[in-house]
Chains A and B, each alone.
Chain A
Amino acid sequence: MTEKLVIIGNGMAPGRMLEHLLEAAPDRYSVTIFNAEPRVNYDRIMLSPVLSGEKAFEEIVIHGDGWYIKHGITLYKGHRIVAVDREAKTVTSDHGVTESYDRLVIATGSVPFIIPVPGKDLPGVLTYRDLDDVEAMLLAAQSRAKAVVIGGGLLGLEAAAGLKERGMDVTVLHVMPTLMERQLDPAAGYLLQKAVEARGIKVMTKANTKAIFGNGKVEGIELMDGTIIPATLVVMAVGIRPSIVLAKEAGLEVNRGIVVNDRMETSDPAIMALGECAEVGGHVYGLVAPLYEMARVAAARLTDGEDKRFAHSDTPTKLKVTGIDLYSLGDFADGDDREEIILRDASAGIYKRVVLQDNRIIGTVLFGETADGAWFNDLKKKATDISEMRDTLIFGQAFQGGASSDPLAAVAALADDAEICGCNGVCKSKITGAITSKGLTGLDDVRAHTKASASCGSCTGLVEQLLKLTLGEAYNPAAVQPMCSCTSLGHDDVRRLIKAKGLKSIPAVMQELEWKTSCGCAKCRPALNYYLVCDWPDQYADDYQSRFINERVHANIQKDGTYSVVPRMWGGVTNSNELRAIADVVDKFRIPAVKVTGGQRIDMLGIRKEDLPAVWADLGKAGFVSGHAYAKGLRTVKTCVGSDWCRFGTQDSTGLGIRIEKFMWGSWTPAKVKMAVSGCPRNCAEATCKDVGVVCVDSGFEIHFAGAAGLDIKGTEVLGLVKTEDEALEVVVALVQMYREQARYLERIYKWAKRIGTAEIKRQILDDVEKRKAYFDRFVFSQKFAQVDPWSERVSGKDKHEFRPMASVGFAEAAE
């Protein structure tokens, strides 16, 4: 029987533990997770790049919804566990869900420390812990007003840099004389302060907060010395505390954290704890590397695998602020029995300090030039006697043993077991081994196979050098990702060259752009076919053999080789005649399943390929055309009943939806396009998670775009408000045409928009009226050739061979 494993918390540590667990014993446990945050597992240490705008949330998701589905894991999002009954072995969430367990893992993480000053509860006072905090900060940053960050540590500085990047006027308050005093010595702290100030962030050290004041919301901060600093946003980033309340209430042994042994077991043998909430050997941890080590140990314990024990080790600290290179490791305090070697280069802003005890490295601080961090770390870990290279030690690895100063040589000289990725504990030989044995060619490959550089990314440079070292000339980091292995050109180059060189057939593209294969592959051919259809609507003859089967036979292939058929129902509106015709077709062809789709259509599933033309013929007689449910093209426009029926409707949303659908059906797009029109902001048609959506309001039509509700979930961006239905149609059409002309094949609107930037799309579609008109006109022109119902074409005999076997052999005469 499978045992029940319940996990409280869905952060990086339990996420990693599950990965190990699923690898070692995928079927042993039925897993249930309760996550107080209403979302999936994401890379919390990458929140700073999200805050600064260098990354989007989707890019830092570790396990998307699909992962939980694939592994049969039940995830309760937004459920905080409020009680653990160790007697009955159950946990209960704040929404009243009770789940029993055989094994329980507590991974409640930590809570930000709030300084107990007056005004700490005012609106506008935030902490920096999760995505909600980041979103609240981003909202506050829109005002471009003044922000104060309390805390000059790692988190505080990253928050400050992010808010500055977002246009705020930022002041950092730090209670100690120098920044990051726990990780940096005063000299490096000084350099860091200069670097931070150079970005326009004000830094005040020895600053003691007395009170936060404001009437109903934050207006400023008062310091002990009487200084007043105006601010509309205050971020407290002064430290974290392990979240132990639940464990304490359950009667488990707690100290600073939940006390566990070196196998992550709490005082109750059925309960384990790991992550920031756990205390092992008197230490609690906040950096990811030891937490991942805990995950390895816990997974081994859960699977009764190898007897792994957690051992304390120093973890390097790095700051994730682009342009500030900083590395700190181990113990760097002065002492009588200690020596130090220091290198300073004032003009270059470089400071390096290595602390020695008995000729062995015990601590390192690097600022401005951190490439040798991994090497120093390795020497420290192995307690290497450095007396031989003492004179040149500080210059780094490249200067040892007369080796050249080539940075590649430095990486080459690293020992095989030297740690490259501290977050994920990946050593050099694991990376080079994977590159060779799995034929990896790029950074993304290495990340996928080894996880090196997949967390905080600060070892990316080292990983790239390993790629260069292992692959030699074959590795070109600057190169764009090629479309496929048939070419070295990326999608954007191919699209540009098709236009520039006037290439109008697939063979022409392959010849002129020097394709490496004679007739392409299943990746590039459909892409090229789309680009040519889009760019030369009146001149290019669609190549059916380069289309995926669904588009070739206008139906969706199912797992058993049968097809599903979806007729178009304009705007999701139907009538008794249509329904009767569908019912008749279902009976006549004994269609085994009929299902209403998410896009307000009716899907008939399990139709044999041979029957497709006859099914279409019958549907066609009732006035149906193809619903294009199979197409990288316009799929559906969902609507609500709008002002016709709804007491809240502000406009005729049904009418507009039908109008858009009738205008745009048949068009091919880089990836599927789903739309919706809602009649009021209650948004019953769910327009705000569509590729393009319209939300009607009293004053007109709000145009939305770049939503997603599949593997990724993303609310739309607002393009703008227009007054009339005609304008709404023109904007929607122009937007889709811009997407058609620019996006890469299979790239949904939200991904394209992220790449191009919302501002640029607004500029071209909303602000530049002539451009919008030109896009609109090009779409209208291409529709002349696209709006042909493929079903009726097929019924009238086009490519009939497709649906019949060419011969039947080996059957007895009567059997046929």
Chain B
Amino acid sequence: MNWIAIGSLSDIPRRGARCVATPQGKIAVFRTADDQVFAIDDHCPHKGGPLSQGIVHGAAVTCPLHNWVISLETGKALGADEGSVRTIPVKVEGEQLFIALEALASKAA
């Protein structure tokens, strides 16, 4: 797997997210209260809302547009809603964060 460095853990506030720009669109990288890191497409399966702007709680985020709750682990909508968003592998080495490039390439293809 081809890992790309995207920055350090402290770049992201706890219970928050930052974006990584790619040619295929933004990826939202989340940091939970207990310092787990997840990356998913910044695009809600419902109406395309920017998930990176939502409120992060546990390992889930609530979309700012219509309050869908998306699991950061699976990318799936929780509760009564149905839909899912692509998850991107993340690796934390010390302070450094990496995401897997294959995922990007596969989407571009």
- Closest Cβ neighbor of B42 among chain A residues: A561
Contact status B22-A811, CB under 8 Å: yes
For window 507-541 of A, CB contacts with B under 8 Å fall at 517-522, 525-526
For window 26-53 of B, CB contacts with A under 8 Å fall at 26, 29, 32-34, 47-50, 53
Contact status B16-A545, CB under 8 Å: yes
Checking B16, B19, B57 against A805 with a beta-carbon cut-off of 8 angstroms, the contacting residue is: B19
Checking B11, B12, B57, B101 against A810 with a beta-carbon cut-off of 8 angstroms, the contacting residue is: B101
Contact status B21-A808, CB under 8 Å: yes
Checking A547, A801, A815 against B18 with a beta-carbon cut-off of 8 angstroms, the contacting residue is: A801
- Chain B residues, Cβ within 8 Å of A815: 23
- Chain A residues, Cβ within 8 Å of B4: 809-810
* Given A545-B13, A559-B65, A806-B12, A811 and B23 contact (CB-CB distance below 8 Å): yes
Contact status A561-B55, CB under 8 Å: no
Checking A549, A553, A801, A807 against B54 with a beta-carbon cut-off of 8 angstroms, the contacting residue is: A549
* Given A518-B33, A518-B58, A526-B55, A801 and B23 contact (CB-CB distance below 8 Å): no
Contact status A557-B26, CB under 8 Å: no
Chain B interface main SS type:
mixed
* Nearest CB in chain B: distance from A510 CB, A: 11
- Chain A residues, Cβ within 8 Å of B56: 545
Contact status A525-B55, CB under 8 Å: yes
- Chain A residues, Cβ within 8 Å of B58: 517-519, 521
CA of A546 to CA of B56, assembled, Å: 8
- Closest Cβ neighbor of A799 among chain B residues: B13
Checking A517, A518, A810 against B22 with a beta-carbon cut-off of 8 angstroms, the contacting residue is: A810
* Nearest CB in chain B: distance from A153 CB, A: 45
* Given A517-B58, A520-B57, A559-B47, A809 and B64 contact (CB-CB distance below 8 Å): no
CA of A526 to CA of B6, assembled, Å: 30
CA of A519 to CA of B12, assembled, Å: 17
* Given A546-B55, A806-B29, A521 and B62 contact (CB-CB distance below 8 Å): yes
Interface string of B3-15 (1 = CB under 8 A from A): 0111100011111
- Closest Cβ neighbor of B34 among chain A residues: A518
- Chain A residues, Cβ within 8 Å of B34: 518
- Chain B residues, Cβ within 8 Å of A806: 6-7, 11-12, 18-20, 29
- Chain A residues, Cβ within 8 Å of B54: 522, 549
> Interface size of A by Cβ–Cβ distance < 8 Å?
30
- Chain B residues, Cβ within 8 Å of A549: 53-55, 64
Report, as a range, how many residues of chain B touch the other chain. Answer: 35 or more
CA of A805 to CA of B19, assembled, Å: 5
CA of A159 to CA of B72, assembled, Å: 57
* Nearest CB in chain B: distance from A509 CB, A: 14
Contact status B20-A807, CB under 8 Å: yes
Interface string of A754-796 (1 = CB under 8 A from B): 0000000000000000000000000000000000000000000
CA of A238 to CA of B60, assembled, Å: 60
CA of A525 to CA of B69, assembled, Å: 14
CA of A801 to CA of B52, assembled, Å: 13
Contact status B22-A522, CB under 8 Å: no
- Closest Cβ neighbor of A543 among chain B residues: B15
- B104 at the A interface (CB under 8 A): yes
Interface string of B69-109 (1 = CB under 8 A from A): 10000000000000000000000000000010100100010
- Chain A residues, Cβ within 8 Å of B22: 808-811
- A190 at the B interface (CB under 8 A): no
Checking A522, A547, A552, A810 against B104 with a beta-carbon cut-off of 8 angstroms, the contacting residue is: A810
- Chain B residues, Cβ within 8 Å of A557: 50, 53, 64-65
CA of A738 to CA of B7, assembled, Å: 47
- Closest Cβ neighbor of A521 among chain B residues: B57
- Chain A residues, Cβ within 8 Å of B49: 561
Interface centre among B18, B57, B65 (most CB of A within 10 A): B57
Contact status B13-A801, CB under 8 Å: yes
* Given A545-B13, A809-B6, A519 and B50 contact (CB-CB distance below 8 Å): no
Interface centre among A546, A808, A809, A815 (most CB of B within 10 A): A809
- A752 at the B interface (CB under 8 A): no
- A548 at the B interface (CB under 8 A): yes
- Chain B residues, Cβ within 8 Å of A805: 18-21, 26
Contact status B7-A807, CB under 8 Å: yes
CA of A811 to CA of B26, assembled, Å: 12
CA of A526 to CA of B21, assembled, Å: 29
* Nearest CB in chain B: distance from A460 CB, A: 25
CA of A546 to CA of B62, assembled, Å: 11
CA of A664 to CA of B18, assembled, Å: 34
Interface string of A567-590 (1 = CB under 8 A from B): 000000000000000000000000
* Nearest CB in chain B: distance from A168 CB, A: 47
- 14 A-B pairs with C-beta separation under 8 A: A521-B57, A521-B58, A522-B54, A545-B13, A546-B55, A548-B64, A549-B53, A801-B18, A805-B21, A806-B12, A806-B29, A807-B5, A807-B6, A809-B101
Instruction: Give the 7 A-B residue pairs with the shortest CB-CB distance, closest first.
Output: A522-B62, A806-B18, A807-B6, A545-B15, A549-B53, A808-B21, A522-B55
Taking A546-B15, A559-B65 as given, write out 9 further A-B residue pairs in contact, using a Cβ cutoff of 8 Å, ordered by the A residue number: A519-B32, A522-B62, A525-B57, A559-B47, A561-B50, A561-B53, A806-B7, A807-B21, A810-B23
